[in-house]
């Protein structure tokens, strides 16, 4: 990102990495650079509306950053006007949050305060077979690129309408997020219930050792 920002200052916001396989996010970055340099891109097929989970994330991100970035505020206002034109209310970030991770945040913060956070190997590596499958899928996708056919350019209104937001879309976003939420919830719960579980920054054995030492130090200092 620093390299890109040096070449195109104030024009690069983010690159979606495309997963944990290097070949995937490398290809995503390569296509982003081609676009930034106004080089030919493969013919694209634009969905009428993007995934509702991504749409909600984008809305929330725009609302969060609008007070810092005038360009974000301007784009957000265009989206809000688009909502009104379709007879829908302006988007308001959700104020009610469903919190299912009892104890997760407390443990997460404690691991950092005790300085025993894991800094490597957060995500298990891919097996050789998984790497072969991923490489084949990426190569198959690349071979379908059509550089001779012009990409279908969406109008500004069509781009805005990809983020059209209404109760049905909110319901879709909630339902589609359940499997991923459960995946992380169950993995975290399994780690916490294990004597030596490891998950993301958490190592339960190291945490328990550090917590025991901290309590002993507190007890000793209190008895003096």
214 & 103 share domain: yes
123 & 212 share domain: yes
Write down the pLDDT at residue 203: 94
Longest dimension (CA), the chain: 80
Question: Euclidean distance between the first and final Cα of the chain, in Å?
Answer: 53
Whether the Cβ atoms of residue 27 and residue 19 lie closer than 8 Å to each other: no
> For the ranges 10-19, 56-65, 110-119, 167-176, which has the lowest average pLDDT?
10-19
Residue 197 region, left (φ>0) first, then alpha (ψ -120 to 50), else beta?
Answer: beta
- The residue with greater pLDDT, 46 or 4, is 46
- pLDDT tens, position by position, 26-37: 888 888 888 777
Q: What is the pTM of this model?
A: 0.71
Mean pLDDT of the chain: 87
136 & 201 share domain: yes
7 & 103 share domain: no
Number of domains present in the structure of the chain: 2
34 & 68 share domain: no
Range of the domain at 26: 1-39
Question: Does 100 have pLDDT greater than 80?
Answer: no
76 & 141 share domain: yes
Write down the pLDDT at residue 176: 95
- The residue with greater pLDDT, 220 or 139, is 139
59 & 33 share domain: no
Query: pLDDT grade, residue 12 (50/70/90)?
Result: confident
Tell me the β-bridge partners of 202. Answer: 199
Question: Does 132 have pLDDT greater than 80?
Answer: yes
Whether the Cβ atoms of residue 32 and residue 38 lie closer than 8 Å to each other: no
Report the percent of the chain where pLDDT is more than 70: 92
């Amino acid at each position: 990102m620093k390299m890109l920002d040096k070449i195109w200052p104030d024009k690069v916001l983010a690159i979606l990495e495309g997963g944990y396989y290097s070949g995937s996010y490398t290809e995503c970055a390569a296509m982003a650079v081609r676009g930034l340099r106004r080089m030919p891109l493969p013919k694209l097929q634009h969905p009428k509306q993007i995934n509702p989970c991504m749409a909600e994330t984008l809305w929330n991100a725009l609302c969060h950053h609008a007070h810092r970035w005038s360009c974000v505020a301007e784009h957000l206002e265009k989206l809000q006007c688009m909502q009104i034109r379709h007879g829908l209310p302006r988007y308001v970030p959700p104020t009610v949050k469903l919190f299912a991770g009892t104890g997760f945040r407390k443990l997460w913060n404690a691991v950092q305060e005790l300085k025993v956070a894991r800094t490597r190997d957060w995500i298990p590596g891919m097996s050789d077979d998984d790497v072969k499958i991923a490489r084949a899928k990426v190569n198959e996708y690349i071979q379908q690129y059509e550089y001779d056919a012009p990409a279908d350019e969406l109008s500004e209104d069509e781009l805005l309408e990809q983020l059209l937001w209404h109760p049905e879309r909110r319901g879709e976003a909630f339902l589609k997020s359940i499997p991923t939420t459960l995946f992380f919830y169950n993995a975290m719960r399994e780690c916490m219930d294990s004597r030596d579980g490891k998950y993301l920054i958490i190592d339960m054995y190291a945490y328990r050792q550090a917590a025991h030492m901290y309590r002993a130090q507190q007890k000793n200092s209190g008895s003096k």
